[in-house]
Chain A
Amino acid sequence: MSLKNKRKLKYSLAINEAIHQMMASDESVFLIGQGVKSPWYVGNTARGLLEKFGAERVIDTPVSENAITGAAIGAAIAGMRPIVVHPRVDFMMYALDPIINEAANWHYMYGGNSSVPVVIWGIVNRGGEQAAQHSQVLHALFAHIPGLKVVMPSTPYDAKGLMISAIKDDNPVVYIDDRWLYNVEDDVPEEIYTVPIGKGIIRREGNVISLASASYMAVEAFKATQELVKDGIDIELIDLRTIKPLDEELILKSVQKTGRLVIADGGWKTCGLASEVSALVVENGFKYLKSPIKRVTLPDVPAPSSPALEKVYYRNSEDIIRAVNEVLKENNN
C-alpha cells in the first residue's frame, strides 16, 4: 500500500470525494435533490460540488420528491448517470412510485432494451427525539423489490467504494447510509476504486458463531465483538455491505464453519433484513446449525420521541452481546 492509501477521511467526506471524482471523470454524472446547494448540507457530503461543477450538474430542487426522483430516473433512461439524494429516507416515501413502478421494473419490462443507471441515495437520520417520521430505516422495503440493488456501507472505505460502484452500475442502486456513521473516520484511498456490489466482507474470522450486520449496526456489532472476544468467544464478524443481492455464499460458508448465527439489523423485525438472512440459512444451511438463529432488530414499533422510550427502542452492542450469549447457551451439540 502506498502512503496516500493511509490517509484518513470521515465517512461523509468519503461520499463527497466519490461524487467529486465521478463527476469529474464522467460528464453524465450529476447530483440532484433537496439542499445540495447548501454549504451546511448533510455532513458536508455535497461540499465544494456546486463551486466545481455548477448549478447545471448540482441541482437543488423544490420539495417534490416524487417528480424529482422520477426526473432522475428519466435522465438515466436518456443516458445520464444521476445521483438523486433524499436527506431523509422518510421523505423518500413520496418517491416510491418512480422507484418501484418505473426504475425497478424498467429493464425487465422492456426486455432488456433500456436501462436505468441511477443512484437513489437515502440518508437515515434518526435518534435525538425526532419521532416516527424522522427516524425510519427502510432498506428492507427496497430490498424486497426485484430490479433494485441496495447497498449499506458501514465504513468510510466502503462508503466511497460503494458510491462509485453504484454510480458505475447500469441498474438502479438504492444507496442507504446512516448519519450516525458520518463522523466515523478511517483509511480511505485517494484514488477512484470500487467496492463490488453484492459482496459482503468478513471483518473478523472466527469459528464459534457468525455475527452478520450492515450499516450502523456493523459498528455496534464490531463493539460487541471486541467485548466478546475478551471473554474468549471466537466470533466471525460479517459486514453484509450489500443487502440486495445478498452475498449468500459468504453467509452460508460462515455458518457452515461456525454453526451459529446472530443477525443485527437497524431495521424492524417483521419481513426485515434479519428475517431474510435467517431464512436463507435455514433453507440452505439447516444442517450446519447447532443452535437457533437470533435476530437483533428494532421492535415492530414506530420510533418514539421521549428520551426514556428512545433509549429502549434502539439496539446496541449490549443487545448483540446478550443475543450471542443466548445462542451459545442453546447449544444443541
Chain B
Amino acid sequence: MIQYSKEFLVNLYRTMLRIRLCEESLVEPIIKGEVKCPCHLCSGQEAVATGVCAVLSENDYIFGTHRSHGHYLAKGGEMSELIAEIYGKETGCSRGRGGSMHLIALEKGMMGAAPIVAGTISLAVGAALACKIRESGSIVVSFFGDGATGEGVLYESLNFAALNKLPIVFACENNFYSTHLPIRECRPENHIYKIGEPFCLKSHKVDGNDVLKVYEAAKNAAEMCKNGEGPVFIEFLTYRLRGHVGPDDNIQGSLTDIRPKEEIEKWMKKDPIIRFEKVLLKNKVFTREELRRILKETEAEVYDAYVFARNSPYPETGELTKYVFKE
C-alpha cells in the first residue's frame, strides 16, 4: 500500500464504484423496458477497465467492445453522456446515433467501441501504427473478450503488431463466457494468454478482479510498449455478475442466463470492489465515513446523469441523414 498515494487509491476505488453504480442503475430501466437499446453490463469486471486506464494518459488510446461502459468511464468519458446515449438522446456521446455499443470520448483517448467480436482489435493495431509512425510516444490498449479468441483477425493482428513492434497492449477480459457458451467449450485449452507466445509477445495471466494487480501488470506492459518492447498480451481473469445482455439476462440467474448459481456465488465472493474496499479499510487508507461519502457522491452523479438524459432532446428527425459522410 505504501507505494501508492491515498489520492491514487481513492481514485481507483471511485472509478470502480462509478462503473458499478452506473451499470446497476440500468437494470431497472432495462427490465421495465424504458431502456430498449441493448446494454451489455460489465458489473463484476470493473477492475480491469479501471486498473488499465489508470496507467494511461489522455494521449493514449483505447478501443472497446460491446461491453464497454466501464472502459468509457474509466478512460474519462462523462457518465451523463453515456446515459443520454443509451436513451438515444442528442446529448449522448454519439449524439444518439450509436447507443450503448458505440461509445466515444475522443478528447480522452476513448476512440470507440463496437460489437462485432474482435472488430476493433485491428483498428487498435492501426492506431498503434499511427503512434509509431508519428513517434508520438503514445500507446494503445485493445480491450476484447475471451470470445474474440475464436476470430481469425485477432491472430492476424497479433502477428502484424509483433512484426512491427507496435506500442499496443492486447487486453483480453476473460469472463469465461462467449455470450452464452462457456469458453472451455470454444477452445481446446484454457490458457488464453498463451496465444500471444507464438507471435513472440510477452504474455501474462492476471487476476482481473484485483485492481492493483491489474494496474501493476498494465503499468509494466505500458512501459514496455513505450520502450519499444511491445506489444504485450495480458489475459485478465474476471467474471460478469450479470448475464450477457437484455432484460432476461440482466436478472441474474433467470431465464436465459444459464450459468450455474454456485459459479455466480463463487465469483460474487471475489467482487473486485468489495475486495478492494476491504484492503483499503484494513490498511486504513480511508475510513468507513469517507467510503460513505464517496458512495453518496457517486450516487448523486448517477442521479444527475439520468436527470440530464431524460431531460435531453432526441435527435431531430430531419437529421436522419446527417453524419453519413463528413462534409
Identify the A interface with B (CB < 8 A). Answer: 30, 56-57, 59, 61-62, 64, 66-80, 82, 97-98, 101-102, 106-115, 146-147, 149, 170-171
B322 interfacial contact with A, CB 8 Å: yes
Q: Which residues of A contact B183 (CB under 8 A)?
A: none
Q: Which residues of B contact A76 (CB under 8 A)?
A: 126
Q: Which residues of A contact B116 (CB under 8 A)?
A: 97, 101-102
Q: Which residues of A contact B156 (CB under 8 A)?
A: 62, 64, 66-68
- Expressed in whole angstroms, the Cα–Cα distance for A64 and B95 within the complex equals 34
A107 contacts B126, C-beta separation under 8 Å: no
14 contacts between A and B (CB under 8 A): A56-B132, A67-B156, A71-B157, A71-B160, A73-B122, A77-B112, A80-B129, A98-B122, A98-B123, A101-B116, A106-B112, A109-B94, A113-B93, A171-B325
B253 interfacial contact with A, CB 8 Å: no
Q: When the two chains form the complex, which single residue of A57, A59, A146 contacts B324, counting CB atoms closer than 8 Å? A: A146
A110 contacts B98, C-beta separation under 8 Å: yes
B176 interfacial contact with A, CB 8 Å: no
- Expressed in whole angstroms, the Cα–Cα distance for A109 and B95 within the complex equals 9
Expressed in whole angstroms, the minimum distance between the Cβ of B112 and any Cβ of chain A is 6
For A115, the closest partner residue in chain B by CB is B326
Q: C-beta contact mask, B55-98 vs A, less than 8 Å → 1, else 0?
A: 00000010100000000000000000000000000001111111
Q: Which residues of B contact A80 (CB under 8 A)?
A: 129-130, 133-134
B131 interfacial contact with A, CB 8 Å: yes
B119 interfacial contact with A, CB 8 Å: yes
Interface residues on B, range: 35 or more
- Expressed in whole angstroms, the Cα–Cα distance for A146 and B320 within the complex equals 13
B122 contacts A74, C-beta separation under 8 Å: yes
Q: When the two chains form the complex, which single residue of A62, A70, A108 contacts B323, counting CB atoms closer than 8 Å? A: A108
A79 contacts B94, C-beta separation under 8 Å: no
B130 contacts A107, C-beta separation under 8 Å: no
- Expressed in whole angstroms, the Cα–Cα distance for A113 and B92 within the complex equals 11
B21 interfacial contact with A, CB 8 Å: no
Q: Which residues of B contact A75 (CB under 8 A)?
A: 126-127, 129-130, 133
Q: C-beta contact mask, B117-143 vs A, less than 8 Å → 1, else 0?
A: 001111111111111111000000000
**Most chain A Cβ neighbours within 10 Å, of B125, B153, B157:** B153
Expressed in whole angstroms, the minimum distance between the Cβ of B279 and any Cβ of chain A is 37
A78 contacts B127, C-beta separation under 8 Å: yes
- Expressed in whole angstroms, the Cα–Cα distance for A171 and B327 within the complex equals 9
B114 contacts A101, C-beta separation under 8 Å: yes
Pair count A-B, CB < 8 A:
146
Q: When the two chains form the complex, which single residue of B63, B97, B163, B164 contacts A111, counting CB atoms closer than 8 Å? A: B97
B119 contacts A102, C-beta separation under 8 Å: yes
- Expressed in whole angstroms, the Cα–Cα distance for A67 and B142 within the complex equals 13
B106 interfacial contact with A, CB 8 Å: yes
B104 interfacial contact with A, CB 8 Å: yes
A102 contacts B114, C-beta separation under 8 Å: yes
B104 contacts A70, C-beta separation under 8 Å: no
A30 contacts B93, C-beta separation under 8 Å: no
B198 interfacial contact with A, CB 8 Å: no
For B92, the closest partner residue in chain A by CB is A111
Expressed in whole angstroms, the minimum distance between the Cβ of A121 and any Cβ of chain B is 16
Q: Which residues of B contact A115 (CB under 8 A)?
A: 326
B152 interfacial contact with A, CB 8 Å: yes
**What 8 A-B pairs come out closest when comparing CB atoms?**
A74-B126, A70-B122, A111-B95, A74-B123, A67-B156, A71-B126, A64-B156, A78-B130
For B104, the closest partner residue in chain A by CB is A110
**Most chain B Cβ neighbours within 10 Å, of A62, A78, A113:** A78
- Expressed in whole angstroms, the Cα–Cα distance for A24 and B97 within the complex equals 37
For A80, the closest partner residue in chain B by CB is B130
Q: Which residues of A contact B93 (CB under 8 A)?
A: 110-111, 113
Q: Which residues of A contact B157 (CB under 8 A)?
A: 67, 70-71
Q: Which residues of A contact B123 (CB under 8 A)?
A: 70-71, 73-74, 77, 98, 102
**Most chain B Cβ neighbours within 10 Å, of A56, A67, A73, A171:** A67
For B135, the closest partner residue in chain A by CB is A56
Q: C-beta contact mask, B201-229 vs A, less than 8 Å → 1, else 0?
A: 00000000000000000000000000000
Q: When the two chains form the complex, which single residue of A30, A68, A97, A102 contacts B133, counting CB atoms closer than 8 Å? A: A30
- Expressed in whole angstroms, the Cα–Cα distance for A279 and B322 within the complex equals 24
Expressed in whole angstroms, the minimum distance between the Cβ of B115 and any Cβ of chain A is 9
**Most chain A Cβ neighbours within 10 Å, of B114, B133, B157:** B133
**Most chain A Cβ neighbours within 10 Å, of B106, B111, B119, B126:** B126
For B61, the closest partner residue in chain A by CB is A78
- Expressed in whole angstroms, the Cα–Cα distance for A73 and B128 within the complex equals 12
A110 contacts B152, C-beta separation under 8 Å: no
A56-B95 CB under 8 A given contacts A72-B126, A77-B123, A102-B123 = no
B102 interfacial contact with A, CB 8 Å: yes
B129 contacts A109, C-beta separation under 8 Å: no
A70 contacts B153, C-beta separation under 8 Å: yes
Q: Which residues of B contact A98 (CB under 8 A)?
A: 119, 122-123
A112 contacts B326, C-beta separation under 8 Å: yes
- Expressed in whole angstroms, the Cα–Cα distance for A74 and B131 within the complex equals 11
Expressed in whole angstroms, the minimum distance between the Cβ of A262 and any Cβ of chain B is 30
Expressed in whole angstroms, the minimum distance between the Cβ of A319 and any Cβ of chain B is 35
Q: Which residues of A contact B96 (CB under 8 A)?
A: 111
Q: Which residues of B contact A72 (CB under 8 A)?
A: 126
Q: Which residues of A contact B324 (CB under 8 A)?
A: 107-108, 146-147
B323 contacts A107, C-beta separation under 8 Å: yes
For B97, the closest partner residue in chain A by CB is A111
Q: Which residues of A contact B122 (CB under 8 A)?
A: 66-71, 73-74, 98
- Expressed in whole angstroms, the Cα–Cα distance for A200 and B135 within the complex equals 40
Expressed in whole angstroms, the minimum distance between the Cβ of B140 and any Cβ of chain A is 8
For B123, the closest partner residue in chain A by CB is A74
B159 interfacial contact with A, CB 8 Å: yes
Expressed in whole angstroms, the minimum distance between the Cβ of B99 and any Cβ of chain A is 8
Q: Which residues of A contact B130 (CB under 8 A)?
A: 74-75, 78-80
Expressed in whole angstroms, the minimum distance between the Cβ of A12 and any Cβ of chain B is 26
Q: Which residues of B contact A112 (CB under 8 A)?
A: 95, 322-323, 326
Q: Which residues of A contact B164 (CB under 8 A)?
A: 59
